[in-house]
Chains A and B, each alone.
Chain A
Amino acid sequence: MSILEQLRAGVITTSAEAMQALAVELALVLPDDTTLALHGDLGVGKTTFVQGLARGLGITEPVTSPTFTLYTLHRGPRHLLAHLDAYRLTDAAQLDALMLDDFLISPYCLAIEWPENIAARLPSNALHLDLGITADGRHPIRLR
């Protein structure tokens, strides 16, 4: 099964490493200029997943939560990884103040945490991933 098929069927990861390994695999097959919407509550592992994406794109610098400045940009050997945290955004129009379009240079991968906050501005071909956490600490991941 391809990674996309696996994710559509749903995968349950039991460690941060396993989640990142999954993200690495996904990063390798993503078309250029993909927007990846990462749905899930506080603590489900969204930033951990983006760290895996970064590794898959060959980015070596540390990827941390961008909550404060709302997004960070990481330059890989070929791709730009933009990591947007829409946690504090309440309206899609607020995106304009981030001037993100001015910094998104193709080929890029745009990973968005709390995408539901800016649902109106997500491209129609965005990939939506649901991340969760079970009572015993396992992380289910599924591609919509």
Chain B
Amino acid sequence: MAAPMPRPCEQVSRLLRLTTAGSVDDGKSTLVGRLLHDTQSILADQLAAVDRATRARGGVELDLALLTDGLRAEREQGITIDVAYRYFATPTRKFVLADCPGHVQYTRNTVTGASTAELAVVLVDARNGLVEQTRRHLAVAAFLRVPHLVLAVNKMDLVDFDEPTFRRIESEFAVVARSLGVRDVVSVPVSALHGDNVAARSGRSTWYRGPTLLEHLEAVPTGREAVAEPMRFPVQLVLRPRTPEYPDYRGLAGRIASGVLEVGDDVIALPSGGRSTVTGIDTPDGPVLRATAGQSVTVLLADEIDAGRGEVLAHPAQAPRVVTELNADLCWLADRPLRAGARVLVKHGTRTVRAIVTELTGRLDLHTLLHTEPPTALELNEIGGARIRLAEPLAVDSYATDRHTGGFLVIDATDGNTLAAGLVGPDPARNTA
């Protein structure tokens, strides 16, 4: 089967997932609206609706913030209650933006947005510089290991595009970022309201030689990190067609979480421990010799080992560790506080196991990313360390080494609600995380 020919008007572009964070009134809605507007992602009828809404509120100039207005309750109360997803594209890239409200339930939302993001845009108001909220946003992004950070210093028009103001905020931010272990930070002076340095270079900040926000979003490398990590293939289900055409077909369906898998690779299935060799990688377009992080494929093995749902395939030399106890950080997302002794479910990869939180080991100080004394309870939006005993083993990685296989959910066994985002801690058997 030949690879399909690209169509004349089809561009090959990559997907970048990003998230935004800023405290109230820093101009986050305006910035998101500006990005949508300047990439022509807003269509005529939506613009007309915003224009009507702007006039209804007595405004004259198009209020870009209204473009991202959400549910009626939010509009009526002038607040944002939930993460919203926005889509825009340039000729070379397509963007999925998790737009996170900056207040109420704020950690819950930012953690959600940051969990899938490869880049986070943190906004500050040029007149105020770094505030308490900025540090928290930065800490959450660092905690969830978002690989790329952008500081957008907004409302530069209100400080006359003053370079020293920008540089002061930029270096203050860099210090905090470094202390949190974030390396890739780019700062951009913008005016979301007027569009300076968002999609178009500003004539009012000639001293700034860096990229516009959009140029940077288009240039930042994507997906590379996941491909470099050890290979992990969580098995979702076993395909056994048993049709006349495929009487003996037995394929392991799943999505490569990280790394690269090739035909001929020796693999181990964990936690069960069975070993085999990859004889084929199937896609609906036919077999391939190699598949990389993010791809959904079906894997064929030489032997019928026990590798159903819940198992993870890995290369034996770089296998995840199999544990019955987790040391983890939990970001608590439920109203009811967490106390030691809680019986829960842990969902990791394609496996869900019963578990008991045996101990709370500390609360995370979002300023320092250090743990304080063990708390008696973990409240909504707090992050803390916990020890969790598992009823059955899990094959895990430290979140610090693999974002894709180091995260898990804590679920209420009774009502099924998601209680916490969990991040697997460092391997106690190793000195380095």
Q: Does B bind A?
A: no
